Structure 1
Amino acid sequence: MVKSTQSVFVWSFYLLGLGSILVLIPNFLLGLFNFEPTEEVWIRVVGMLLLILAYYCFEAARHQLHPFYQWSVLGRASVIVFFTVFVLLKLAPVQLILFGMVDLAGALWTGFALRQEQNNKLLSVSQ
């Protein structure tokens, strides 16, 4: 398994775990990060969306869909921007940025892996 595929495969399990917690026991996770507990359905809707994204990432990795990996890098890297803006506008507590940092780290892992694979491909063609 090439590194970019591995990164998206691992990412799918992160999303699976986070999504499952948000669907089943959202206040547990909210409490860990000092967010207010909630009984609103929206946190579970977010969990459901994460589970769907986990499925997409898992299948993309299983089928080695490299264009999906490239799209996911920009999408995941943008999360930190949105979360930072939400915090600066006082719409969310600063702890939200921690989740954005995880997304950024995952995006960088995939992005660097894709770049390395592209460079290796160019080197093998030129030899």
Structure 2
Amino acid sequence: MPGRSLVRFFDPVGARYGIPTWPWRMAPEHLATRRQLAARGLRPGGQDIAGQVLWRSRRYGAPGGVRAAYLYDIRLALPKRIPTGAQRAALAKALAARRTCPECGRDAGYVLPRRLGTCLDCAEIWGVAS
């Protein structure tokens, strides 16, 4: 029955689920998920969840086979914050540290595996990688 889940998840008042709920792709235009806000250059900005979208899923770990996406009001969203030059420099330095091998001191070009603690070449030399 294709329309059964539409009726099951349609609760715009919030009587059944506690917050307004809509089936997949049926939420009002002024509500958006975090990803949809980010695509528009916005962020929730501390506002409460305005509703949710529910849909059936066979994905492992979905309780009861139902997944949810929380919705936020676009009208209350704020613009994304832009990092300062110092914040960008600190982030670049931290990411470079994750790629730098403590044994040979070179940038491996990838994040070093935590279980090895070195680049793959050094781990192979020491007989750790296998």
User: Structure 2-normalised TM-score?
Assistant: 0.20
Question: Rg larger in 1 or in 2?
Answer: 2
Higher helix share: 1
- Pick 1 or 2: higher relative contact order, CA cutoff 8 A, min separation 6: 1
Higher strand share: 2
